[in-house]
Amino acid sequence: MERTATVVPEDGLHARPASQFVETANEFDADIRLGRADEDDLVPAASMLAVTGLGVGHDESVRLVAEGDDAEAALDALEDILSTPEAKQ
């Protein structure tokens, strides 16, 4: 499964939003990868270093790809994080 989402948090995928994104990705039985929407390279969504290393900022589009039993639920949860202005506490 694949989706494209826009990063809404002001900090982009850095600091708290990235931490919540990675923690959430690790909760699902799925191989989840993430990358910029306009590039082919994808990184593991379960890796804080990989996710923050993308340097994705506010209002940038990302591509999420998930495979596995929980793929759809994982994409729903991760898309929710990306579309929330500030990371949920």
Q: Among residues 3, 14, 36, 58, which one is catalytic?
A: 14
Joined together, the tokens standing for residue 35 give 């990358």
Check if 14 is active-site. Answer: yes
Evaluate whether 52 touches 14 at the Cβ level (below 8 Å): yes
Active-site amino acid positions: 14
